[in-house]
């Protein structure tokens, strides 16, 4: 997806991918990562997700990256957080206690921004990319994540030909094929969630599998 696509979505408030509450899968499976409260957690393509508030409330220092400035500004205003803004290379850095968001292209985010990361959380980043761009994103994520960092990955899979993404279909085979070189992978949970997603039902999608993985960055 080109940057203009996401900017247009935010400008038109077409953000069906945004959840107004903390993701239940994050609440259920985050404890299984075993991260200490003091861990720094990276959230790629973070938007204005309330999941970052959940992570901060667990004691984590959250570092996010988001392309759209409107999304970043809304995160801080929606949560009534006083924010400071400074230029940081090609990005703008927006900071409040325990949360720093880099606004700009993740592909140009320097590794210095995530050098102290111990954990990461990807709910809507991997599935935001069409297959032609997904491998490049996976490589960039692996570049940004320090060794031994532990993360939670949430994916969706369905017959891609039945509906135009995003979110795009990411199969279990794709995860194992393209992430195994950089991460150890453990499937924590997988279930058909079609009945909970009317958009997919209305488009005639026959099944929709949501999966949760525990990833550990290899040394």
- Residues 114-158: tens digit of each pLDDT: 999 999 999 999 999 999 999 999 999 999 999 999 999 999 999
Model pLDDT, residue 18: 52
Question: In sequence order, what are the residues at sequence separation of 6 or more whose Cβ sits closer than 8 angstroms to the Cβ of residue 137?
Answer: 106, 107, 125, 126, 129
- pLDDT tens-digit readout, 63-88: 999 999 999 999 999 999 999 999 98
3-state secondary structure of 126: helix
Range of the domain at 211: 3-217
Give the number of other CB atoms < 10 A from CB of residue 136. 11
Per cent of the chain over pLDDT 70 is 91
CATH of the domain at 179: 3.40.50.150
Please name which of 166, 172, 168, 162 lies closest in space to residue 212, comparing C-alpha atoms.
172
The DSSP call for residue 166 is S
Model pLDDT, residue 165: 87
Q: Is the pLDDT of residue 209 over 80?
A: yes
Residue reference for tokens 């009945």: 195
Model pLDDT, residue 5: 66
Q: How confident is the model at residue 28 (pLDDT cuts 50, 70, 90)?
A: very high
Per cent of the chain over pLDDT 90 is 89
How many structural domains compose the chain? 1
The DSSP call for residue 163 is S
Model pLDDT, residue 133: 94
Model pLDDT, residue 20: 79
Alpha-carbon span 84 to 94, nearest angstrom: 6
Tell me the pTM.
0.93
Alpha-carbon span 78 to 59, nearest angstrom: 20
Residue burial 41-74, b: 16+ Cβ < 10 Å; e: rest:
bbbbbbbbbbbbbbbbebebbbbbbbbbbebbbb
Q: Is the pLDDT of residue 162 over 70?
A: yes
Model pLDDT, residue 17: 57
């Amino acid at each position: 997806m080109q940057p203009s696509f996401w900017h247009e979505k935010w400008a038109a408030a077409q953000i069906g991918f945004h959840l107004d509450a903390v993701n239940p899968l994050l609440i259920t499976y985050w404890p299984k990562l075993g991260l200490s409260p003091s861990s720094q957690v990276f959230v790629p393509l973070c938007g204005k997700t309330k999941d970052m508030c959940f992570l901060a409330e667990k004691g984590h220092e959250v570092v996010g990256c988001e392309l759209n400035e409107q999304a970043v500004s809304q995160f801080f205003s929606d949560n009534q957080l006083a924010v400071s803004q400074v230029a940081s290379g090609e990005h703008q850095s927006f900071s409040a206690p325990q949360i720093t968001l880099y606004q700009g292209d993740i592909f140009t985010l320097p590794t210095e921004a995530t050098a102290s990361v111990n954990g990461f959380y990807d709910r809507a980043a991997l599935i935001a990319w069409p297959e032609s761009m997904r491998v490049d994103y996976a490589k960039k994520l692996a570049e940004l994540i320090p060794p031994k960092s532990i993360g939670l990955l949430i994916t969706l899979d369905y017959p891609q030909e039945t509906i135009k993404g995003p979110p795009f279909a990411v199969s279990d085979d794709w995860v194992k094929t393209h992430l195994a070189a950089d991460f150890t992978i453990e499937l924590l949970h997988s279930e058909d969630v079609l009945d909970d997603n009317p958009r997919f039902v209305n488009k005639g999608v026959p099944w929709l599998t949501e999966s949760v993985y525990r990833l550990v960055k290899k040394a």
